Amino acid sequence: MTEITAKILHQIDEIAAHEWDACMGTRPYNPFLSHKFLHALEKSDSVSAQTGWQPFHVSVEEDGKSIGVVPVYLKNHSQGEYVFDYGWADAWHRAGGEYYPKMQISVPFTPATGARLLTRSDDPEHEKVLLGACMQIAEQVKVSSIHITFMQQQQWESAASLGFLKRMDQQYHWHNGGYASFDEFLADLASKKRKNIRRERRDALAEGIEIEWLTGDELTESHWDAFYHFYVDTGSRKWGQPYLNRQFFSEINATMPEDVLLIMAKRNGRYIAGALNFIGADTLFGRNWGCIEDHRFLHFEICYYQAIDFAIARGLKKVEAGAQGGHKVARGYLPEATYSAHWIADPNFRDAVARFVDDERRYVEQDIAHVEAHTPFKASTDLAQLRNVPVTQKVDFVG
């Protein structure tokens, strides 16, 4: 008989970095799943029991040998997840239940798709073993629910086979059709859309604004001071209190600067806006934006167009520009389904949530199909082929 044992890690440093990272298997590198990224969140106290994200990672062994890990958090609220379940929590509370704490399998504050069940072998059966261990732990600690957000479709289907409810939403991603330049990308768009984008790019920089790409050892604490100012200003206006503290940015600068792209705008010798991106093996992930001066179209330039420029220069296949934002479609970003899975302990509550997510999923599928029919690309562009172009070109990048 195979012996399966699971261990709770109350902080990421209870497992060696190389042991955790080995569980990313052969998948393309995703910086958000790395030990150093999760460590930066915890070491800076951006993630902690005090912020409502208590680390509760699961490590699983089979016959004494590690087969995988799961990034898990005990949550006492639903903030910073980007897959909204406030209505579920309110309904369960009104019915006399306690929705919190719940188990959240995700990367905090990061609406980027990736594996959530990390196995050394990339074996789907091992993924089910990890998920089964999480379900047993959930029953033992008596949480109301488990939520796995921004997961890969294959793991989504696997979770459904174990009784998880399937939820769907959408984002907007740019796909690299093997382009040699931004103009070559524009050539795939309808004439009117090309003109609009060129006008936006021209107007964004009309007041003497200069753009810098900063990555690796080019990044300094002064850059992070400026960016944090932008981030706090924008975050305070959006949700009251930014999720990430200043120390977090120093941590990633010390441990993973090669995975970071900071796109900064400068006017009259002063930084006025910036966007934080993370660089994966084949994807540029846009994360945070902020500014201290308002300039028309500057947000589009820094967050969308400069990201496309960088992806082309680096030979990356895709740009994921974060959550929400239907306005991205007019700028060459295509609708993409995102997936989450939900295990509800109470059977009656589970049935009610199941009806909701089934209806919601049909609506999202219809909306994606509608948006797909109204993209800025020429009618002759094969969008399915565009999504699957193998990108081999790589331009030497100089920051």
Q: Which helix (DSSP H) or strand (DSSP E) does residue 204 occupy?
A: helix 191-204
CB-side neighbour CA atoms (13 Å) of 172 = 17
Domain 4-163 is found in CATH 1.20.1070 = no
What is the side-by-side strand order in the sheet with 318-320? 53-55, 72-75, 102-105, 145-151, 334-344, 165-175, 318-320, 283-291, 270-279, 260-267, 210-215
Q: CA nearest 316: which of 286, 276, 273?
A: 286
Q: CA nearest 176: which of 394, 387, 397, 398?
A: 387
pLDDT given at position 239: 54
pLDDT digits (tens, 9 = 90+) for 192-210: 999 999 999 999 999 999 9
Q: CA nearest 194: which of 205, 206, 182?
A: 182
**Is 337 within 8 Å of 364 (Cβ atoms)?**
yes
Written out in words, the top-level CATH class of the domain with range 173-333+382-387 is alpha beta
Q: Where are the alpha helices (DSSP H) in 240-328?
A: 246-255, 298-300, 306-314
Residues of the chain with pLDDT below 50 are: 393, 395-399
The amino acid present at 60, given as its one-letter code, is V
Beta-strand pair 270-279/283-291: antiparallel
Q: Tokens representing 324?
A: 């929400």
Q: CA nearest 259: which of 319, 214, 321, 307?
A: 214
Same topology between domain 4-163 and domain 173-333+382-387:
yes
Compute the distance between CA of residue 32 and CA of residue 255 in angstroms, rounded to an integer: 13
Mark 307-321 as b/e (b = at least 16 C-beta within 10 Å): bbbbbbbbbbbbbbb
| 31 cis-preceded (ω within 30 degrees of 0) | no
**Is 84 within 8 Å of 78 (Cβ atoms)?**
yes
pLDDT digits (tens, 9 = 90+) for 286-311: 999 999 999 999 999 999 999 999 99
Domain ranges within the chain, ordered by starting residue: 4-163, 173-333+382-387
**Helix/strand/coil for 212:** strand
pTM > 0.85: yes
Sign of the Cα torsion 173, 286, 165, 356 reads negative
pLDDT given at position 333: 97
